[in-house]
Every structure is written in structure tokens, then in C-alpha cells.
């Protein structure tokens, strides 16, 4: 195990967005820069996007398999919790405190701030209700990353040949950079170890 990484175990929540398809790239970056162990928890809507994912994926089908509630176990064991890509749906559930998937139950059971990296089409992202949920999460000390235009996220309008093709999402390196920047700011504030 690499003891020099800033965290030991990351819980990575993956939601049902098109950008979940390449999430193994983020897992690799997290293993390299943040924590040796990355546990992937997928929502039921994310599962179809994770076909061929090279590693274990924990999901709602595993929820009832253990002795103690899995959402409590997972939340307790994580040093960092990132939801990426975060859908408008899961952002809304997290803001409202709903816990009807393993992932949203983990979010509710996690005792520290969660990082959310949203990925939606543009219309969804600029919808006031989505922005309201983001503001609620930020007000509760969760960390919501600002997504950037991403041409790989399309919507139904685009598939029919018109409209705005691009959605918004955080690039994987930007997610990792945000975490590292936060750790450095924290060290600057609290002082560096001798």
C-alpha cells in the first residue's frame, strides 16, 4: 500500500450519466494520486453504463447481502467520498435527504462532506431547481464542483439532429486536481507537519 497518498480509501459513487462509461479513467487517477483503494458504488441507473468496467462494482443488488447494513459499513470505512458523475436526480435526492439507493443511503450515512461532480445536459444544469439543490448541498458544507462544457454528453434533442449537443461535466483530472488543491489549502490553514 502507498502510505504517501493523502487518503487510504475512497468511496466513488457513480450515477446514470453517459459520462459514467469512462469512469475507470477516474478510478485510475484516484488510485495514483489520492488513495490506493477505490470502492465503486453504482446506482441502478449507472449499471448499464459500466458494462466492461475492469473491477468490482457494488450496487443495490449487494445491499441486503451482508450482516450489517452495507450503506453504514461503506460510509464508515471511507476517508473520502466522491460522487462522479453526479446526475441531476442524485443531486436532488442528496439535497432532500432521500435514501432509496445504496448510493444515496451512503451519502446520508456519511458523516463528513461529500464531493459532487455533476454531469448533465445544459438544459438540466441551468434549470433553477437543479441549481437550488446544488445550493442546498453547498450550504451543508458538501463540495459541488463546477462542471465545464462537455461535448460527449448529448441529449435527446441532439440525437434527432438539432439543439445544443453538449452537456456539462467535470473532466477526471479536474476532479483530482480539486481534491489535491483542497488538501493543500487545508495544510496551509492548519499547518504542515514537521
Ligand X SMILES: Cc1cc2nc3c(=O)[nH]c(=O)nc-3n(C[C@H](O)[C@H](O)[C@H](O)COP(=O)(O)O)c2cc1C
Which of 10-18, 25-33, 134-142, 180-188 is the region at the interface with ligand X (rule: CB under 6 A)? 10-18
90 binds ligand X (CB under 6 A): yes
119 binds ligand X (CB under 6 A): yes
Which of 1-9, 23-31, 42-50, 178-186 is the region at the interface with ligand X (rule: CB under 6 A)? 42-50
Closest CA to 30 of 10, 46, 48, 50: 10
Which of 31-39, 40-48, 54-62, 184-192 is the region at the interface with ligand X (rule: CB under 6 A)? 40-48
Nearer to ligand X, 37 or 158 (CB): 158
CB of 180 to ligand X, least distance (A): 25
* Binders in 126-185 for ligand X, by CB under 6 A: 153, 167
58 binds ligand X (CB under 6 A): no
**Run of H or E residues at 9:** strand 9-14
Residue selected from 24, 31, 36, 45 as contacting ligand X according to rule CB under 6 A: 45
Q: Which residues contact 44 (CB under 8 A, 6 or more apart)?
A: 16, 59, 60, 101
Q: Is the dihedral of CA 153, 157, 160, 161 positive or negative?
A: negative
User: Cα torsion for 11, 184, 182, 15, to the nearest 10°?
Assistant: -30
Residue selected from 16, 23, 27, 137 as contacting ligand X according to rule CB under 6 A: 16
39 binds ligand X (CB under 6 A): no
CB of 131 to ligand X, least distance (A): 13
Report how far apart, in Å, the C-alpha atoms of 71 and of each of 15, 68, 77, 115, 125 are.
16, 9, 10, 17, 28
88 binds ligand X (CB under 6 A): yes
H, E, C per residue of 14-58: ECCCHHHHHCHHHHHHHHHHCCCEEEEEECCCCHHHHCCCCCCEE
* Total residues at interface with ligand X (CB under 6 A): 17
Closest CA to 147 of 190, 117, 124, 123: 117
Residue selected from 120, 133, 145, 147 as contacting ligand X according to rule CB under 6 A: 120
Question: Site residues (CB under 6 A) for ligand X?
Answer: 15-18, 43, 45-46, 87-90, 101, 119-120, 124, 153, 167
Amino acid at each position: 500500500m502507498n502510505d504517501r497518498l493523502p487518503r487510504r480509501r475512497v468511496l466513488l459513487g457513480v450515477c446514470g450519466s453517459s459520462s459514467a462509461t469512462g469512469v475507470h479513467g477516474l478510478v485510475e487517477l484516484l488510485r495514483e494520486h489520492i488513495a490506493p483503494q477505490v470502492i465503486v458504488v453504482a446506482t441502478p441507473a449507472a449499471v448499464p453504463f459500466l458494462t466492461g468496467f475492469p473491477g468490482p462494482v457494488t450496487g443495490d443488488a449487494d445491499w441486503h447481502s451482508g450482516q450489517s447494513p452495507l450503506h453504514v459499513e461503506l460510509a464508515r470505512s471511507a476517508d473520502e467520498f466522491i460522487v462522479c458523475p453526479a446526475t441531476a436526480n442524485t443531486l436532488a435526492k442528496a439535497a432532500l435527504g432521500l435514501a432509496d439507493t445504496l448510493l444515496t443511503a451512503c451519502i446520508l450515512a456519511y458523516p463528513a462532506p461529500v464531493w459532487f461532480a455533476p454531469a448533465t445536459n445544459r438544459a438540466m444544469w441551468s434549470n433553477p431547481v437543479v441549481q437550488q439543490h446544488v445550493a442546498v448541498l453547498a450550504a451543508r458544507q458538501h463540495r459541488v464542483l463546477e462542471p465545464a462544457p462537455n461535448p460527449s454528453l448529448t441529449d435527446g434533442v441532439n440525437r434527432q439532429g438539432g439543439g445544443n449537443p453538449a452537456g456539462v461535466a467535470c473532466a477526471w483530472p479536474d476532479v483530482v486536481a480539486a481534491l489535491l488543491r483542497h488538501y493543500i489549502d487545508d495544510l496551509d490553514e492548519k499547518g504542515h507537519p514537521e
